[in-house]
């Protein structure tokens, strides 16, 4: 049998490698992975918008590399993805440094230092195209290496130049604005992807990441430290995959009334709560993919506050089908089947956040102004004609007017603007509120309600409990309480003379 050498042409393959699918933010994240694996405690992203040619540097104070290690790192496919890695290793294929860099620029320089010895190497795509060979250049000195003076006693500096995929080609002020905006979007992405390292989560070494001397702030998508966030179960559930463990924990974010407007906007993210619900998969505490249900259910309004953290070790990369960019994953069969079984209950807490508001602690169907009615496959809302205020008004009407009043109530119930309510609540629920109620109208409602309920034999303590969780009393409780004290003494409720307490 004959063999024919079929080595790829360097000039063609290296250009094709540029289109693996990295964005600026995922490319930066891949470089930062290497810095964290090298045990860096500080990582700096540097740009110099004032220069005629924009460039980006990623500098760390990690272990650095020897010259042989640097040359190996510059080689395409420097690590076998099947080999066992350290639990601290965030790498995958041994391609990240090269593919991430090539996706954004045409020249990448790596300067590294360890034990006082400095090494440097350059991939220049123009040089590869001219020579049509896999040749890495080794500069004679560091004179033309940007930011070389910022490298410490140990560490690594990666420099991207000829940013043809990041910078608008015209080089105008508009192009510079675009670059600044892209870097700001990348900052937000990195604050999410590495939030557990930035916050120094238990068992992790805290890492500081800076963009042009501005420290990145950890963005915890689960708002886990807020007292109104619900965590289920309190101890993460463990799923065994071979001899490895995957842990799962569900978080339900607070209702918008329990957080500040600033917090509500921040934790919505750029895509909003609806798009950011779902599974958040972490590999060695580094976020891989988020905002997906893996096709097991659809994103919907009632589960938009549900976010599920899944932690996997790097020993399951093949089972999870982690891609080169570390931005895509698919759960293995046993994990997927477990998720399928629990997903029906996974949004229950999120639903309760919206549906429990106003629920009475004492069973009584007379206080809600609106009743939710479910008939077979339909759900509709109907004005509660037995509400004490409506019942009191109806009892004072003639028979003819009672029939007309019933028609008016039916009209109001049939004209509830469901489409508009759904659109407003789905788009900006924090901006939707009920109409304010005048003190006079609230006073009439309180007195009439309590009087009618007392006549039906409900004790005062139970009535107070019911009022506290029912609108419009709940939202106006301080004034409601004052009305109760000033106008509804035990003597008046029993039909005696009114007195103020």
262-280 pLDDT, tens per residue?
999 999 998 999 899 999 9
CA-nearest of 93, 118, 122 to 108 is 122
Minimum mean pLDDT among 53-62, 169-178, 217-226, 343-352: which range?
Answer: 343-352
Is the model more confident about 354 or about 182? Answer: 182
C-alpha 296/C-alpha 319 separation (Å) is 18
User: pLDDT over 70 for what percent of the chain?
Assistant: 86
Say if residues 145 and 159 touch (Cβ distance below 8 Å).
yes
User: pLDDT over 90 for what percent of the chain?
Assistant: 41
Minimum mean pLDDT among 175-179, 386-390, 490-494: which range?
Answer: 490-494
Residue 303 in this model has a pLDDT that exceeds 90: no
Residue 358 in this model has a pLDDT that exceeds 80: no
3-state secondary structure (DSSP) of residue 438: coil
CA dihedral 477, 480, 485, 488 (to 10 degrees): -140
**Tokens 């510079």, residue?**
176
In the structure, what pLDDT confidence band is assigned to residue 33 with cuts at 50, 70 and 90?
A: very high
For residues 180-189, give the mean pLDDT: 94
Q: Which two tokens stand for residue 94?
A: 């041994």
Q: What is the pLDDT of residues 200-228, one digit of tens each?
A: 998 899 999 999 999 999 999 999 999 99
119 bridge partner residues:
112
pLDDT of 172: 61
Mean pLDDT of the chain: 84
Minimum mean pLDDT among 21-35, 81-95, 430-444: which range?
Answer: 81-95
Say if residues 23 and 166 touch (Cβ distance below 8 Å).
no
C-alpha 11/C-alpha 39 separation (Å) is 35
Say if residues 214 and 243 touch (Cβ distance below 8 Å).
no
What count of residues does the chain have? 501
Residue 498 in this model has a pLDDT that exceeds 50: no
In the structure, what pLDDT confidence band is assigned to residue 352 with cuts at 50, 70 and 90?
A: low
pLDDT of 94: 56
For residues 150-159, give the mean pLDDT: 96
Residue 281 in this model has a pLDDT that exceeds 60: yes
Q: What is the pLDDT of residues 99-119, one digit of tens each?
A: 999 999 999 999 999 999 999
Structural domains for the chain: 10-215 (3.30.565.10), 230-354 (3.30.230), 370-493 (no CATH)
pLDDT of 497: 41
In the structure, what pLDDT confidence band is assigned to residue 23 with cuts at 50, 70 and 90?
A: very high
Q: Classify residue 291 as exposed, middle or buried by CB count within 10 Å of its CB (0-12, 13-18, 19+).
A: middle
208 bridge partner residues:
42
Say if residues 42 and 127 touch (Cβ distance below 8 Å).
no
Helices 173-193 and 24-37 cross at an angle (nearest 10°) of: 50
For residues 151-159, give the mean pLDDT: 96
The angle at the Cα of 476, spanning 475 to 477, to the nearest 5 degrees, equals 100
Say if residues 61 and 152 touch (Cβ distance below 8 Å).
yes
Find the DSSP H helices in 417-459.
418-427, 439-455
pLDDT of 93: 46
Strands 306-312 and 278-283: parallel
* Neighbour-count burial for 396-423, b at 16+ CB within 10 Å, e otherwise: eeeeeeeeeeeeebeeebeeeeeeeeee
Say if residues 385 and 406 touch (Cβ distance below 8 Å).
yes
In the structure, what pLDDT confidence band is assigned to residue 356 with cuts at 50, 70 and 90?
A: low
pLDDT of 69: 93
Q: What is the pLDDT of residues 86-95, one digit of tens each?
A: 555 565 445 7
Chain centroid, CA 353 distance in Å: 18
């Amino acid at each position: 049998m004959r063999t024919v050498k079929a080595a790829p042409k360097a000039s063609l393959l290296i250009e094709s490698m540029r289109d693996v699918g990295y964005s600026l933010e995922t490319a930066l994240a891949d470089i930062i992975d290497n810095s964290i694996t090298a045990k860096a405690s500080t990582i700096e992203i540097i740009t110099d918008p004032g220069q005629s040619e924009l460039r980006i540097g990623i500098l760390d104070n990690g272990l650095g590399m020897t010259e042989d290690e640097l040359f190996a790192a510059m080689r395409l496919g420097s690590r076998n993805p099947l080999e066992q890695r350290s639990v601290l290793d965030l790498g995958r294929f041994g391609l990240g440094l090269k593919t991430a860099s090539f996706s954004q620029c045409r020249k990448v320089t790596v300067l590294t230092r360890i034990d006082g010895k400095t090494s440097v190497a350059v991939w220049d795509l123009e040089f590869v195209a001219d020579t049509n060979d896999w040749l890495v250049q080794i500069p004679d000195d560091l004179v033309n290496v940007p930011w070389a003076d910022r490298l410490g006693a140990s560490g690594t500096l990666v420099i991207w130049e000829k940013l043809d995929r990041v910078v608008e080609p015209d080089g105008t002020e508009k192009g510079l604005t675009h670059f600044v905006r892209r870097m700001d979007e990348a900052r937000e992405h990195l604050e999410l992807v590495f939030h557990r390292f930035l916050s120094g989560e238990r068992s992790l070494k805290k890492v500081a990441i800076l963009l042009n001397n501005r420290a990145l702030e950890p963005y915890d998508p689960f708002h886990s430290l807020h007292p109104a966030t619900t965590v289920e179960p309190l101890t993460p559930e463990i799923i065994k995959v071979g001899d490895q463990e995957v842990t799962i924990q569900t978080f339900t974010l607070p209702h918008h009334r329990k957080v500040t407007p600033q917090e509500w906007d921040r934790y919505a993210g750029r895509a909003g709560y609806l798009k950011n619900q779902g599974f958040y998969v972490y590999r060695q505490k580094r976020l891989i993919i988020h905002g997906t249900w893996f096709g097991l259910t659809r994103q919907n309004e009632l589960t938009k506050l549900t976010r599920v953290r899944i932690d996997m070790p790097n020993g399951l990369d093949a089972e999870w089908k982690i891609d080169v960019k570390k931005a895509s994953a698919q759960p293995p069969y046993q994990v997927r089947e477990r998720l399928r079984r629990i997903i029906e209950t996974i949004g229950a807490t999120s639903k309760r956040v919206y549906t429990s508001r106003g629920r009475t602690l004492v069973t009584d169907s007379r206080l809600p102004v609106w009743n939710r009615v479910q008939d077979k496959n339909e759900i509709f809302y109907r004005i509660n004609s037995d509400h004490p205020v409506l019942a009191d008004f109806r009892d004072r009407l003639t028979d003819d007017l009672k029939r007309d009043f019933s028609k008016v109530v039916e009209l109001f119930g049939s004209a509830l603007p469901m489409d508009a309510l759904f659109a407003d609540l789905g788009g900006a629920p924090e901006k939707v509120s009920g109409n304010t109620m005048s003190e006079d109208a609230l006073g009439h409602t309180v007195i009439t309600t309590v009087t009618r309920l007392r006549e039906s034999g409900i004790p005062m303590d139970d009535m107070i409990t019911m009022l506290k969780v029912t609108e419009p009393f709940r939202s106006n409780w301080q004034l409601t309480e004052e009305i109760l004290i000033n106008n509804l003494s035990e003597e008046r409720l029993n039909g005696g003379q009114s007195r103020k307490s």
